[in-house]
Amino acid sequence: APILEQLTIVDTPGILSGEKQRIARGYDFTQVARWFAERSDLILLLFDAHKLDISDEFQRVIEVLQGHGDKVRCVLNKADQVDQQRLLRVYGALMWSLGKVLKTPEVMRVYLGSFWSQPRQQHGEDGAGSTPEALFDAEERDLLDELRALPQHAAVRKVNELVKRARLAKVHACLLGHLRDKMPTVFGMDKKQRELLDNMGENFREVQRKYHLPPGDFPPLDAFVRQCAERKFAKFPSLKTRELQDIDDLLSKDIPALMAALPKHTRPGIPGLEASASASVSSGNPFASASVTPIARLQWEEQLQGCKAEYDAVFATLSLDSTGRASGASCMAPLQKQASLGVSQQALRAIWDLADASNAGSLDADQFAVAMHLCALAKAGEPVPATLPDALVPPSPGKAPSGQSSTSPQANAIRNPATV
């Protein structure tokens, strides 16, 4: 299958449960799972709908996956073997169990379906108790689309890892330079170092305010203190403004340019629209392509003065949650940098409120672009508007007209899924 040409699939041994857990494997399975998790681009946890169980070993494996939440997905397989009512209960029980193991109400994406070559089972008279075929088709389509996009997502993840390391390096450089500057020239070095160690939390806050650094980029306080206790602060390198500027240029210019150069994955077809045999890209019809941008979005992007791609590239470097949104802590540094020191804290607060119209405490890519645009206007001396102008309100994603089928040619093509 073409989808497998750029993928390497690692099928780990099955999880032991019940009495089988007493059998020694001869190696530490949990640590092996951790090793593969650190090197994988996508992690699929498979559950059977008719024998849902999280054994002690499986729980340990899930726990070591914490920190890789953006790569973990669940697959509730063989979901056709239970009727619709029972499937709802199984799905709810799975979400509850995962939330308990991960100790969070937000769990990873769960795909429902019957991902094997066997025909789907029917329940009740004339299949009345069966789960709708459209749901399984949509879930299979979403999973295969994610696999198709995986090479591009893997490249983005590597760039994000580079960004994370660069930001950590910047914070460490600022911390070490700050601690060195606090040290006396000749006498009282040991006493001053102990004082700085005892008040490291205040030093963290001082460095954060001085250099406008996101608090999430700072290392764990206790671990940092333990590491610093074994070193002489007076021997720390001094902070060089030029090297700090090089990191800023990397984050604000080089990384966005690199992100913009990455190939974009577009989902084939538009669900809800039936493609005719003559409507191909090679036919010369400019509207035959699924990537045509709606007029409303083009008009909205014009209001951003041609900077949407640049803002998207910056947004892609931020830490995003499972829904693709960036928290306030993640957005703070780029918005402050865009606004510069000339924009007051009150103005930045008003800009955030305008962009985050739903008070979600986070921004998606379009809302982030609006916030960056407003920061640029404020930096140029324009007042922050009391309400967001209609021209800057991000357009809602298009919906298929009512009465049209939601089954696309692509959905029909993958009705019988490939074995993965």
Q: Which domains does the chain have, with CATH numbers?
A: 2-17+24-118 (3.40.50.300), 157-261 (1.10.268.20), 295-380 (1.10.238.10)
What is the torsional sign of CA 12, 14, 17, 19? negative
* 239 Cβ neighbours under 8 A, 6+ residues apart: 173, 174, 176, 177, 178, 180, 181
Which one is predicted more confidently, 397 or 234? Answer: 234
**Residue type at 305 in one-letter notation:** Q
Nearest alpha carbon to residue 204 among 215, 189, 192, 195? 215
Residue 355: per-residue pLDDT = 94
Residue 158: per-residue pLDDT = 83
Which one is predicted more confidently, 290 or 262? Answer: 262
Residue 366: per-residue pLDDT = 92
Residue 299: per-residue pLDDT = 79
| Residue 373: band (very low, low, confident or very high) from pLDDT cuts 50, 70, 90 | very high
What is the torsional sign of CA 311, 314, 316, 318? negative
**Residue type at 277 in one-letter notation:** A
Q: What is the C-alpha separation between 186 and 281, in angstroms, rounded?
A: 75
88-105 pLDDT, tens digit each:
888 888 888 888 787 776
Nearest alpha carbon to residue 192 among 238, 234, 230, 235? 234
What's this model's pTM, rounded to 2 decimal places?
Answer: 0.53
